[in-house]
Structure 1
Amino acid sequence: MTKTLTDTDEQELWAESEQNGTLSSQSKGFETITLGKFSDICNIYSCSTELRSGLSIAVDEVEFIDDLVWMKDKSDNLRFGLSFFLSGKVTVERHGLIDKTDESVGKYYSECNCNLQETEWWKAGEKFSRIYLRIEPQQFFQSFGEVDLEQIPIYLRQAVIGDCIQPYYQQEKITRQMQRVLRQILQCPHQGLMKRMYLESQVMELMMLHFQQFQEQGKCDRNFPARNLSDVEKIYQAKEILLNNLENPPSLLELARQVGLNDFKLKCGFRQVFGTSAFKYLHDYRLEKARQLLGSEDMKVEEVAFRVGFDSRSYFASAFRKKFGLNPKQYLQHCQKSR
């Protein structure tokens, strides 16, 4: 059986689990441990450690009782971090940013999760574990100079400056050096202050290895054009132009002209920032917008297709079914029954 969980459900069930004693959180100094059964959803273990201003680490383990689809709403709470996967797998879609992607053993991601809806697909009985580094850029990097900041990834640099913060997600492979550091974190031989100092040293090495990957990609990849904030802002501007012209979007050449980039730089930069081509991004956004309209507006399928820029109803139906598993009419009927 597959269950569905929303943010509202999660908040209510979490409070209920704490009240009936199946889930408990204990804080001791700089460390917080959460342990137990979260309703009839999953078993949880999490150990979170504050390391210094703007930097913390969490070791998380979760095992779901049934297959679960977890739908997360947009949040005003910005989160920047690195997540290293140690066991298990979850499939994630960050709507408007990435299509479905597997987060699994041997991979890690860097993120800025601002203002995104997210859907997660979990399988029952599979233990999922990870190490997550949470970064508060304006606190952690406050003593860094401009030259230093040029060596950190764009998504963190934007946050330090405090301007044009945009959602970001990039998945990479965990290197052998990272694997060594992750083992040392899990096998930490210390307690108290010594543990905090030891973990901080290991986390700093992990961050250094991540930044090193960023620098090496910038040097070696000719298709890495968006190295400065100005180019990144133009790429986000191009995205907004596309989304504001769903029915009649400009060509790639016209779009490049409007934002002041050449078409090659726009094409490569868009793929670098968003992980896909400009018009694949537009295609997926149209379908997501159509899903929202079918679920919330009193509109016919033909009207929705036209509103989001599809001239052919049959092509719209085929693309919608491929992405969501139902054709638009079936989805509309399902929404109408739920109202």
Structure 2
Amino acid sequence: MTKIFTDTDWDELCEQNSYQSQGFEVIEQRKIPDICNTYDWCAQLRGGLSLSIHEVELINDLVCIRDRLDDYQFGLSFFLSGKVRIERHGLTDKTDESVGKYYSECNFDIKETEWWKAGEKFSRIYLKIEPQQFFQSFGEEDLEQIPIFLRQAVIGGKIQPYYYQGEITQQMWLVLCNILQCPYQGLMKRMYLESQAMELITLYFQQFQEQEIHDRSFPARKLRDVDRIYQAKDILLSNLENPPSLIELAREVGLNEFKLKRGFRQVFGTSAFKYLHDYRLEKARQLLALGEMKVEEVALRVGFDSRSYFASAFRKKFGLNPKQYFQHCQKSL
């Protein structure tokens, strides 16, 4: 049986928690009846850098709607076992996060839907970086070598959401094993784990730079063109009821149609109008959760002329039709 929960539901379900804190380490275990058992270990290593190990064992299928927006952070997540499917609304299509893969992300202002399968044991190692703290001692030339979305956060510029998934290399696996089998305790453990975390970040930056070199032949990687692609996204999202055609959109932002189509997919991982479609559905979900509008009104507000098509698209994305979701949200209030 599939269960659907929001962040608020999830917090209320955590009935039995075992919490331990020792020095720089924190361990938390949760038993959530009929849903899952979780284990979380976290260590604050230095200013702006923490390392954690997460394990989840599912008892029933679960759809988790992450609707609580976190403060801006950058993360590196390495998957050791299991699989979860996640959609970052307005940023990516559904992606499978499974053993042997890792992702880097900037999750600012992004909501997620997660699909978990019963019988799976999921585990990962996660590095959390708070850019302004972590990079505060870096010089201007050093900052030129880090990804632009991190650079924007350090210098206080406009932060853009970001997601990239890659394969865990052999070098990365060695470091991950070192973390799991750390032979030290106390201060030496903290110093050792920090050195391993820094090596993972170094290996990621190396991959990122190699990818940048590979992509330099693609014009949309130029910052000016990337800005225009973000401008195109803003135009789409401000015209939900009557969006421009792709040709009109390209003309408005000063790109040709081919460059806009290819650039949009490279920056956001999907086509312009799939991005718009997903955003409309996410906006509809938010309006239904508020409970202030009828289903028909919500459909029109986000740009769906056909109620039947809206219901079908909403059910395909969230597992419930709009009326069922509305009723679920009202019961939760």
**Short-chain TM bin:** 0.7 to 0.9
Aligned to 1:335: 326
- Would the aligned equivalents of 1:83 and 1:109 in 2 still touch at CA under 8 Å? yes
The number of residues matched between the two structures is: 328
Residue 241 of structure 1, aligned match among 231, 235, 254: 235
Pairwise CA distance, 1:178: 1.2
Aligned to 1:108: 102
Aligned to 1:156: 150
Aligned to 1:20: none
Q: Distance in 2 between matches of 1:269 and 1:247?
A: 24
Q: Distance in 2 between matches of 1:61 and 1:117?
A: 22
- Pair 1:223 & 2:218 matched: yes
Q: Distance in 2 between matches of 1:141 and 1:273?
A: 24
Q: Distance in 2 between matches of 1:314 and 1:80?
A: 39
Aligned to 1:169: 163
Task: Kindly report which structure 2 residues correspond to 1:244-283, keeping only aligned pairs within 5 A, or say none.
Answer: 244-283=238-277
Q: Which runs of 5+ in 1 are unaligned?
A: 18-22
Residue 123 and residue 182 in structure 1: after superposition, are their counterparts in 2 closer, same or farther (change >3 A)? same
Pairwise CA distance, 1:117: 1.9
Q: Could you tell me which amino acid in structure 1 is paired with residue 8 of structure 2?
A: T
- Would the aligned equivalents of 1:238 and 1:256 in 2 still touch at CA under 8 Å? yes
Identity of aligned residues (%): 71
Residue 321 and residue 43 in structure 1: after superposition, are their counterparts in 2 closer, same or farther (change >3 A)? closer
Q: Distance in 1 between matches of 2:285 and 2:27?
A: 39
Instruction: Tell me how large the CA RMSD over aligned residues is.
Output: 2.6
Q: Distance in 2 between matches of 1:51 and 1:334?
A: 42
Task: Kindly report which structure 2 residues correspond to 1:1-339, keeping only aligned pairs within 5 A, or say none.
Answer: 1-14=1-14, 16-17=15-16, 23-38=17-32, 40-221=34-215, 222-223=217-218, 225-228=220-223, 230-293=224-287, 296-299=291-294, 301=296, 304-311=298-305, 316=310, 318-325=312-319, 330-332=321-323, 335-336=326-327, 339=330
Pairwise CA distance, 1:139: 0.7
Pairwise CA distance, 1:119: 1.6
For residues 257-297 of structure 1, what are the alpha-carbon distances to aligned partners after superposition, in whole Å with 9 as ceiling and x for unaligned? 43344444433332222111112211222233344455635
TM-score of the superposition, structure 1-length normalised?
Answer: 0.86
TM-score of the superposition, structure 2-length normalised?
Answer: 0.87
- Would the aligned equivalents of 1:64 and 1:122 in 2 still touch at CA under 8 Å? yes
Residue 225 and residue 214 in structure 1: after superposition, are their counterparts in 2 closer, same or farther (change >3 A)? farther
Q: Which runs of 5+ in 2 are unaligned?
A: none
Q: Distance in 2 between matches of 1:82 and 1:25?
A: 25
Q: Distance in 1 between matches of 2:52 and 2:324?
A: 43
